[in-house]
Amino acid sequence: MIKKHNIQTLAEGIVHSYAQIFFSQDKVLGLLLMLCTFLDPVLGVCGLFAVMLANLVATFLGFDKTQIREGIFGFNALLLGMAIGYDYRLTPAFWVVLSFAILLAIIVQAWLTGILSKQGLPVVSLPFILTAYIVTLAIRQTQLLEVVNHNAYLLDNTFFNPFGVLDTLEEGTKSLSFPTMIKGYFLSLGAIFFQAKLATGVLVGIGLLYHSRIAFSLTLLSFCWAWVCIDLAGAEMHWLKYQAGANFIFIAIAVGCFYIVPSLYSYLSVMLLVPLTIMAHLAFFKLFSTWMLPVYTLAFSFITIVFLAMLRARSVHQYLQLIVIQYYSPEKTIYKSLSSASRYKNNLFKHIQLPFWGDWFVSQGHNGKHTHLGDWSKAFDFIILDSELKQYHNGGTEKEDYYCYNKPVIAPADGHVIEVVDYVDDNNVAAMDMQKNWGNSIVIDHGDNLYSQLSHLKKDSLKVQAGSYVKKVMLLHPVVIQVGRPSLTFISNCKIMQRWALKQQTIPYRTTC
C-alpha cells in the first residue's frame, strides 16, 4: 500500500520538476508549465512520463526525498524526455530507450553532483545534455527508432489534436503586433519546451512574471541585450529565436537572482556574461555541428558553473553575494538578505576566534604542502615555538617535550557540539596514524551552515559531549596532542550532503584574534 504522504511527495515532485526549469518551487508556475508542454501533446506525454519515471527511480534508488520533492531529478528528465520525444516516433521501442535514458540521466546527475557540489557548484542542465548526447549518438548507430520531422509529424496526426482551441490561440497571438525582438523572446521561451509557438511562449512568460518580477525582468533584459549584441557583432540573428535564446533566459535567472542575491551588481553581471555566453554558444555550436549534435543550453551551463566557481574562489566576497539559504524566490531572497544585513549589521561573518590561548604558529596553512590537499586544503595546523623557533625542549623524543602537548583548547565560536571523537590513542612522536589521521576531534555547528572541526586532540581529554552547547572561548579542554599538528578547520555543509562527517570538505574562513 502506498502511503498518502508518499503520493503527495510524488505529486509535488512532478509539479516542482516543471517549476525547476525556471529555478522555482512555485506550484502554480509548475502546473502552468505542465499545461504548456501539453500544447504539443506528444511532447507533453513524453515529458510527464520522463518526470514520473525519474522521480520513481530516484526514490527507489534511495535518493534524498527532499531533493526528489524539489524536482532536482525531475527537471533534467523532463528536458530529456521532450528532447528525445522531439526527434523520434513514439514506438514501443521508443519508451524502452527513453526509460534507459532516464536511468542514465539519474546516474550521471548523481556523479556530477558529487564532483561539483564539493566546490559548492550546481550541475544545472549538464546531466540532461550529456545523456541526450549519448543517447542520440548511440541511436544513430541502430535502426531502433524512427526519426521524424517533428512539426510535420504533428500535422500528420491531426486526430491527435484534442485542443481545437490551439490553432485559434496561435492565430490570435500572432495577430498581436510585437516588435521582432520581443517576439523572439517569447519564441525562445516556447523553444525551451521544444515548441515553436508564440502562444506557448506568451503563456510561459505570464507564468514567469507571476512567479517573479525580478526573474522575468532579468530574462527579458538579458535576451534583448543578447539580441543587440548579436546584431552589433553582425552574426546571424534567426537562431536566437529558437533554442539558443534559452541560454540567455537561464543565465539571467541563475546569475541574476538564483545563485546570487539580486542586486544592481547581479544585473550588471548578467549583462557582462551575455557576450561570454554568445561566444561560448558559437564555439560549442561549431564544435558539435561536426557530429550534428544540438548544443541545447550547454553555453549557459558552462558559463554559470565557471562564473560561480570564480566567485567562490575570491578571498573577499564583495559586490556579489552568493546565496547561502535558497528560498526559491528572488523576491524573498532579496528581502531576507536585506533584513538580515540590517539586523546583524556587523555579523556578515561570524567572529571566529582562534581555539587556544597564547601565541601559536601556523605550521601548515591553507593549501599546505603536506596534508592540506584537495577537500581538506582549507585547514590550519598550529604549533608552539620558543624563542629559538624550536617546538620542543628536552630533546623532543617524548610527546611531553612538545610545547603544544597538553595545552587547553577552546571553542572558536558559540555553537552545538555535534560530534566528539575521544578514543584514538595518542600518537608517539614521529609516528603517524594513517587511518584515523584526524585523531581525536570535536565538531561544532555554529549555525548558518558553518561548522568547525578541532582535531589532533589528546585522548580522553574532552570536556564536552555531543549535543552540548558551547559558548565562544569556553574551555573544551580537549588537549592538543599529535605533536605539531593540532588543527582547526571550517566546513560548510552543502545541501547535498545532509549529514556532517569527519573528513568533510573544508572552506576558507576569516578568524579574528
Cβ neighbour number for residue 499 with a 10 Å cutoff: 7
Residues contacting residue 297 through CB under 8 Å, at least 6 positions apart: 124, 125, 129, 243, 246, 247, 250
Q: Which is nearer to other proteins, 401 or 433 (CB)?
A: 401
Contact (Cβ atoms closer than 8 angstroms) between residue 295 and residue 281 = yes
> What whole-number distance in Å separates Cα of residue 460 and Cα of residue 478?
8
Surface-to-core class of residue 370, CB atoms within 10 Å of its CB (0-12 exposed, 13-18 middle, 19+ buried): exposed
Cα separation of the two ends of the chain: 59
Shortest Cβ distance from residue 357 to other proteins (Å)? 5
> What whole-number distance in Å separates Cα of residue 391 and Cα of residue 467?
35
> In this structure, what are the phi and psi dihedrals at residue 147, rounded to the nearest 5 degrees?
-75, 140
Q: Which is nearer to other proteins, 259 or 392 (CB)?
A: 392
Q: Which is nearer to other proteins, 362 or 474 (CB)?
A: 474
Shortest Cβ distance from residue 392 to other proteins (Å)? 12
> In this structure, what are the phi and psi dihedrals at residue 387, rounded to the nearest 5 degrees?
-65, -20
Which residues form the interface with other proteins (CB under 8 A)? 356-360, 384, 386-387, 403, 406-408, 471, 473-475, 477
Contact (Cβ atoms closer than 8 angstroms) between residue 230 and residue 205 = no
Q: Which is nearer to other proteins, 89 or 472 (CB)?
A: 472
Shortest Cβ distance from residue 412 to other proteins (Å)? 14
Shortest Cβ distance from residue 355 to other proteins (Å)? 12
Shortest Cβ distance from residue 460 to other proteins (Å)? 15
Q: Which is nearer to other proteins, 217 or 391 (CB)?
A: 391
> What whole-number distance in Å separates Cα of residue 333 and Cα of residue 257?
8
Q: Which is nearer to other proteins, 416 or 477 (CB)?
A: 477
Beta-bridge partner residues of 469: 416
Report DSSP state, residue 161.
Answer: -
Tally of CA atoms within 13 A in the half-sphere of 350 that contains its CB: 20
> What whole-number distance in Å separates Cα of residue 79 and Cα of residue 69?
17
Shortest Cβ distance from residue 345 to other proteins (Å)? 23
Report which of 222, 227, 182 is spatially closest to residue 205, judged by C-alpha positions. 182
Shortest Cβ distance from residue 421 to other proteins (Å)? 23
Shortest Cβ distance from residue 353 to other proteins (Å)? 11
Cell digits of residue 245: 535564446
